[in-house]
Structure 1
């Protein structure tokens, strides 16, 4: 009989977690020789796990649960992505960030629509060492609430906040932006070193998290519409000029290459995204309508059994509808 026990047992060996049950049966430690602490390598690995996996790891066994709850290192960088964003509330956020014991360095909240100004303020007050703050898509936050949180951090350690991401927060104006910039370590030399921001890289779901961006702040005033938004550069050598730089509302860009596309010159795609002519020619096309998907939406296509191509979801829906109409007739 196997000595392996579920999470309620104190004798579970975390080093066997990724092995099959047959192997665990053969090598599990006897109950008379319990392992008192997880291996040091396991503790180091915990710091690199996403929050969702870190919480799941705490359910494996008692030893890992205690390690996750008692170790500070895994909680110094809290990144909440879309797997948990819809469930995160103020109280849960405060509980999670409290595990860092006031040493939280990175707080990245992506599309956490339940987080309020009060929750952010409380986290900022108890974690004055935050140097990276990402609040993209947190639509319940207000510009005034973000300013209060940033000011709280700045009062403890002036200009220690090196990254601030606030794209997607509503009603940010020039005055709000100017106030936020006054708390950030911005100077002429640093502004000149700001990396270029390309539309297709930002939109790519497989690209590194935007909270890891080297930019001090992700938004600025678009010179065309004078609104506070993300402003993108053009990757084309021929377009590296001031006139081609602007927000996505003012300058249309190709989903594949990020290059600017003149209105009326965009190519039609099977999805709703914009493609330039060069990228349109290179992408696989639907066998019926001869329209391509951008690489982000290739999973929407259906394999065509009679060829190596695919059928887009629109053409497939039309085909199914025509079959239903014929049966009714």
Structure 2
């Protein structure tokens, strides 16, 4: 009898100890700092976190949609997400969201006129006229737009850019931002988070390329010779990536005859090509961004690239 009671008490004690209980209060403090994907995942953990995510406005003031969510984001889903800010959305970053249309973006802006950062690169479903209407809407706000990123919007022409620049000039704080303007280097741009664009002192990411006269991102060059040309108000190699290739590692301009072969097919200058470690088989490097293509070589020092690794598997 006593043994049965002891077993019953032990079972109850085990159930009480295994009960998870409510989340720690610190978890609620970090919700506003979570990326969107993690924030949505957190809402599925338990009822307390779900209620916190649904009812708290703070995590939804800055909506940043990146992969993998960007591949599935539609106008309806975007509207549902933006509505959680209750009209107080301040940052909207849509990275390569091809399913977003002009109408979908406009509906979000109509309900959130206080947006100060609008980054929509690679949103191929948007048109230049749709972007102009969006900017016109945001320019009606007293503070206006502080940062606009539109690289990858198809058919953007000089006249569209001039209209966008006109609406951007309505923001009286823009001269203060532009005073901190820094050179835009290609290798830094590739690693730059979209919502940190204003750190470079640039309001809009695109301009007219001095060579091809197309609306694209124009890069500066860290090469000393090119710096001197820029300081003397000479164009030099200040062009878009379509007009002159640039090294993935250092951002310097690379002449077509100086291109070096890499595993990842990215562009490297000779100096960076020499510095980077090479594949044991093909003697080709890969840039830092594609380090995942390096496979540790068993029984020897160094690594082999995924291409050579696959070829060796075919021969086995």
CA distance in structure 1 between the aligned counterparts of 2:117 and 2:15, rounded to whole angstroms: 46
The residue aligned with 2:190 is: 203
User: 1:190: how far off?
Assistant: 5.2
Of 194, 209, 230, the residue aligned with 2:217 is 230
With the length of structure 2 as denominator, give the TM-score of the two structures: 0.87
Q: CA RMSD in A?
A: 1.8
Where do residues 172-183 of structure 1 align in structure 2 (5 Å cutoff)? Answer: 172-183=156-167
The answer to whether structure 1 residue 13 and structure 2 residue 22 are counterparts is: yes
- Rounded to whole Å, the distance in 2 between the matches of 1:319 and 1:235 is 40
Shift of 1:313: 2.3
Scaled by the length of structure 1, the TM-score of the pair is: 0.83
What is the SS of the residue equivalent to 2:222?
A: coil
Aligned to 1:252: 245
Are the counterparts in 2 of residues 165 and 211 from structure 1 also a CA contact under 8 Å? no
After the TM superposition, list the runs of 4 or more consecutive aligned residues in structure 1 that deviate by more than 6 angstroms: 186-189
> Displacement, 1:286?
0.9
List runs of 5+ in structure 1 lacking aligned partners. Answer: 7-11, 16-38, 324-329
Partner of 2:104: 119
* Structure 1 residue 272 corresponds to structure 2 residue 265: yes
Q: Secondary structure at the match of 2:204?
A: coil
- Equivalence for 1:65: 50
Instruction: Report what 1:35 is aligned to.
Output: none
Q: Are 1:169 and 2:162 counterparts?
A: no
> Over residues 67-125 of structure 1, what are the superposed CA-to-partner deviations in whole Å (9 max), with x where a residue is unaligned?
11111111100001112111111111101111111100000000111111111000000
- Whether 1:146 aligns to 2:155 is no
Aligned to 2:72: 87
Whole-Å separation in 2 of the counterparts to 1:176 and 1:162: 18
The offset of 1:256, in angstroms, is 0.6
Say whether 1:107 aligns with 2:92.
yes
- Secondary structure of residue in 2 paired with 1:202: helix
Give the one of 213, 229, 237 matched to 2:197: 213
